[in-house]
């Protein structure tokens, strides 16, 4: 194997991140674009292609130096055939043969997967999930997703659609979710919902960063919001922990930056409300790899070609 580098891409509803990594998953160069600036799917794909070619030029890289391109996408992906089914938070993507398009344009092998699964595999190989046998890795953001490691392997399900913890109902009745469900976890703790609640309480627009900062300063309103998020996430996790007798839960994504305030409430809820044996077993951590988990997972996908 002569190739020494991998292109990792993390396409999110807000940011498009593109990076060159070495075979040990160190990030050598990274570029962050604003996803929303590229209205049409075609423009976004073009931006990806242009970013990659300029990376190659700037670093004097040849095609033969590159093992392949890995891409994480925020929605259901056919990882075997390289098709994006649709992206709930990026308009215009429906049945996109992204692997085929990019391989044709770039003449390099391309691998796709769901972003929560890539984040999970990154935390499992290099982060907080390492060494555990049965783990759920969550990513909290606009969407609330997860990946499931069972018996030390990524559990995919027949449609590669496992892990949708954001669409577990946490109440019998409640708001209808975009997915068609009722009272889905995501409708309570997705970024949009948190921001809306914060706006109502503070009577002005307030960012998640500010909301976290306020909580660290012991602002009661902010603390209250994060504790409610923690309790609700905890309620969903009680169900998963009792069902799967998990060894660990790893929590990542932007919202996880509320840090110990959120995490402590999740732990408290899971410890108090899960069954004794399950509660004693499960450890709950904040993710280690932070914002780069998706990029690293994309690179792992390329290096291992097929993730289990």
Residues contributing to the site for its own copies (CB under 8 A): 76, 85, 133-134, 146, 148, 150-151, 155-165, 167-172, 179-182, 231-232, 235-236, 238-240, 242-247, 272-278, 281
Q: Looking at beta carbons only, is 158 or 217 nearer to its own copies?
A: 158
Min dist. Cβ of residue 170 to its own copies (A): 6
Secondary structure class of 58 (helix, strand, coil): helix
Min dist. Cβ of residue 194 to its own copies (A): 16
Structure tokens at 50: 């242009």
Cβ–Cβ < 8 Å for 99, 79? no
Min dist. Cβ of residue 199 to its own copies (A): 22
For the chain, the straight-line distance linking the first and the last C-alpha, in angstroms and rounded, comes to 22
Largest pairwise CA distance in the chain:
58
Residues 82/138/179/141 CA torsion (nearest 10 deg): -100
Q: Which of 50, 54, 32, 57 is nearest to 105 (CA)?
A: 50
Q: Which of 202, 83, 193 is nearest to 143 (CA)?
A: 193
Min dist. Cβ of residue 254 to its own copies (A): 22
d(CA 47, CA 44): 5
Secondary structure class of 73 (helix, strand, coil): strand
Min dist. Cβ of residue 173 to its own copies (A): 9
Q: Looking at beta carbons only, is 51 or 79 nearer to its own copies?
A: 79
Q: Looking at beta carbons only, is 109 or 169 nearer to its own copies?
A: 169
Q: Looking at beta carbons only, is 61 or 161 nearer to its own copies?
A: 161
Min dist. Cβ of residue 151 to its own copies (A): 7
Q: Looking at beta carbons only, is 167 or 303 nearer to its own copies?
A: 167
β-pairing verdict for 27-34 and 66-73: unpaired
Q: Looking at beta carbons only, is 178 or 260 nearer to its own copies?
A: 178
């Amino acid at each position: 194997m002569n190739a020494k580098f991998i292109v990792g891409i993390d396409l999110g509803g807000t940011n498009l991140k593109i990076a060159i990594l070495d075979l040990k998953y160190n990030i050598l160069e990274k570029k962050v674009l604003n996803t929303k600036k590229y209205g049409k799917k075609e423009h976004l794909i073009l931006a990806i292609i242009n970013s990659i070619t300029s990376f190659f030029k700037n670093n004097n890289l040849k095609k033969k130096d590159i093992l392949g391109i890995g891409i994480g996408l925020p929605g259901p992906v056919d990882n075997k055939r390289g098709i994006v089914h649709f992206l709930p938070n990026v308009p215009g993507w429906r049945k996109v043969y992204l692997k085929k398009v990019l391989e044709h344009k770039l003449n390099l092998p391309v691998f796709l997967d769901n972003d929560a699964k890539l984040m999970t595999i990154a935390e499992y190989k290099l982060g907080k999930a390492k060494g555990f046998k049965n783990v759920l890795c969550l990513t909290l953001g606009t969407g609330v997703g997860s990946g499931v490691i069972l018996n030390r392997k990524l559990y995919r399900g027949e449609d590669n659609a496992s892990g949708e913890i954001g669409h577990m109902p946490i109440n019998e009745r409640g708001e209808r979710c975009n997915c068609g469900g009722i009272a889905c976890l995501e409708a309570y703790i997705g970024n949009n919902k948190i921001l809306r609640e914060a706006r109502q309480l503070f009577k002005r627009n307030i960012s998640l960063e500010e909301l976290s900062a306020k909580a660290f300063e012991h602002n009661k309103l902010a603390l209250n919001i994060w504790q409610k998020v923690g309790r609700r996430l905890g309620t969903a996790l009680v169900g998963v922990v009792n069902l799967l007798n998990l060894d660990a839960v790893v929590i990542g994504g932007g919202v996880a930056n509320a840090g110990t305030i959120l995490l402590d409430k999740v732990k408290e809820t899971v410890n108090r409300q899960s069954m004794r044996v399950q509660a004693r077993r499960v450890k709950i951590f904040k993710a280690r790899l932070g914002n780069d988990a998706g990029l690293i997972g994309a690179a792992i996908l390329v290096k291992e070609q097929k993730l289990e």
